Amino acid sequence: MVDTDVLVVGAGPVGLTAAAELRRHGAECRIVDRLAAPHRYAKAVGVQPRTLEVWDTMGLARQVLAEAVPMHGQLSWVDGEEKPRIELALPPDVPYSFAALPQYVTEELLTAHLETFGTRVERGCELLSFVQDPDGVEAVLQTAGGTERVRCRYLVGCDGAHSAVRKGLGLDFGGGAFGESYMLGDVEIDWEMPSGYGVRVVRHRPDGAPDDVLVAIPLPGRNRYRMSTVAAPELVGDGAGRDGIAHGLDAGGLPGIVHLQAVVDRLSPQPATVSALRWSSVFRISHRLAGRYRQGRVFIAGDAAHIHPPTGAQGMNTGVQDAYNLAWKLALVLRGAAGDALLDSYDAERRPVGEEVVGRTVRHARGGIGTGGDSMATLLRREAQLLVAYPDSPLLDPAAADDDAVVPVRPGERAPDCRGLVQPLATFPQRLFDLLRGPHHTLLIHLGPDAPADLAAACARAGREAARGELDVYAVLAPGSTADTPGVAAVRDGLDEFRAAYGARSPEAVLVRPDGYLAGRVHPADPERIAALLRRTFTAP
């Protein structure tokens, strides 16, 4: 007997995303967390544009935008010299910009969103052990009332750097730790810095090594910042926890106003007073990557799979997208629409992303953001996580390359947004992302003036059959097209942005996955080739 489809362990942003997406895609789940109440700290602050796109698709963007504050850029001083201002400006085709939001607010919003599906976090509930067999996983939980055995079909560990799930699997978590300890504080600083800009001040020793640092990230509220700096010696504990992993908020004493004010007095480019301390901690940083993200029916995501310096605010955002990648795949397998092999693509796609993020953040922590030679435009898109791609995904058809070298977006890459799409019954234009918000794959058939009249319907029939009905289909009509598309919803590319963003030819089919990545392109659009592409995901269980 199975008690639930999926047991999610850990109710931080990653676990909450996994649970909410499983529920949105129709799977049953339970989510447990050993803490009796959520933390009230601002550990993760930065929200990347790609994460805002994810939350848009989930139906959470409106709530986040009401609470977050924009991150316009960074002001920096090195050895007393002011450096050029970094502006976090992205092209107009990117619908969201960089933002700052305390982690506890993120968790509150995700928790409320999850509850709209009828699922609540079970707090004070700790995973003690688990065993798996060919048909499922049996977990033992410690609750206030004693121990409970839970039978689930899959287990997802989103339980942080000291993950009980990862340890229970015996997975390697190789890497190292930075020698310094840092202190964090959620404070108000009464300086005259422009709002929406982070502040970074670095001082070096004569040998060129960093000697002192102050980083302040704006938070919602007047002159409110999450401040981080090297910890005062008297606050530094013995570092690693019981498992030997020196990462997290358990590495020493609690900084007070006096400790944080001393740093501001040393490094601030203008006189300033620190006040209204809401929360503080000492933090240690490791860089580690799990040997694999899947073992049988058990998966890990977020800090359970990868930990690294917080440079560029990559950690929580990468973890959220781990969960976003995994949830739709689990839901398809649970519904019998796909086979177990689909779940292997989670590790194949997301572990290389984790490896790249760990390496890049370590380089940036040691050499500063920009180390590596990227242009500013490329750096911003990379930091925004808009360049995350799955070019080697097993779900792609390597034989269907066509002439993709000449198109601006290829299979495995993020599907860009575009504007100006007009539907016959709407008096206002729409974004492409409005069409991609559902839980299914989406087939976009681009039709020019000379496209065959019955092509869209034939492609839609073949695609829906191959996808077992789990496919949304739209005909995207180029300017000048008068194609009639019975049985297929049509939108007109009023501003010609779809053709420009995708390099779309006519007739061409573009297949977008539920997580907003291109599954493939078929040119010229052909029903049988579209069906074959979909069968790479929708295989017999």
Smallest CA-to-CA distance from 475 within 461, 465, 467, 485 is with 485
Residue 24 · residue 58 · CB < 8 Å = yes
* Second-level CATH architecture of 175-286: 2-Layer Sandwich (3.30)
Q: Beta-carbon neighbour count of residue 70 at 10 Å?
A: 16
Residue 280 · residue 138 · CB < 8 Å = no
Q: What are the phi and psi torsion angles at 363 (to 5°)?
A: -60, -45
Q: Would you give the distance in Å from CA 64 to the centre of its chain? A: 14
pLDDT digits (tens, 9 = 90+) for 9-45: 999 999 999 999 999 999 999 999 999 998 877 678 8
- The segment(s) of the chain belonging to CATH 3.50.50.60 are 4-67+101-173+288-383
Rounded Cα distance, 444 and 432, in Å: 10
Smallest CA-to-CA distance from 105 within 152, 42, 20 is with 42
pLDDT surpasses 80 at 404:
no
- Top-tier CATH class for 398-534: alpha beta
Here the contacts of 491-495 (C-beta below 8 Å, separation 24 or greater) are: 491/421, 491/422, 491/423, 491/430, 491/435, 492/421, 492/422, 492/423, 493/418, 493/420, 493/421, 493/446, 494/420, 494/421, 494/422, 494/429, 495/418, 495/419, 495/420, 495/429
Distance in angstroms between the alpha carbons of the first and the last residue of the chain = 20
CA triple 456-458-460, angle to 5 deg: 65
Smallest CA-to-CA distance from 281 within 309, 248, 258 is with 248
Rounded Cα distance, 241 and 303, in Å: 15
Rounded Cα distance, 16 and 461, in Å: 36
pLDDT of 245: 72
Tokens 């080697």, residue located: 392
- The segment(s) of the chain belonging to CATH 3.30.70.2450 are 175-286
Q: Which neighbouring-strand residues pair with 155?
A: 7, 298
- Top-tier CATH class for 4-67+101-173+288-383: alpha beta
pLDDT of 284: 84
pLDDT digits (tens, 9 = 90+) for 167-184: 999 999 988 887 788 889
- The segment(s) of the chain belonging to CATH 3.40.30.10 are 398-534
pLDDT of 314: 82
pLDDT surpasses 70 at 401:
no
pLDDT digits (tens, 9 = 90+) for 237-266: 765 556 667 666 655 678 999 999 999 999
Tokens, residue 371: 């180390």
pLDDT surpasses 60 at 370:
no
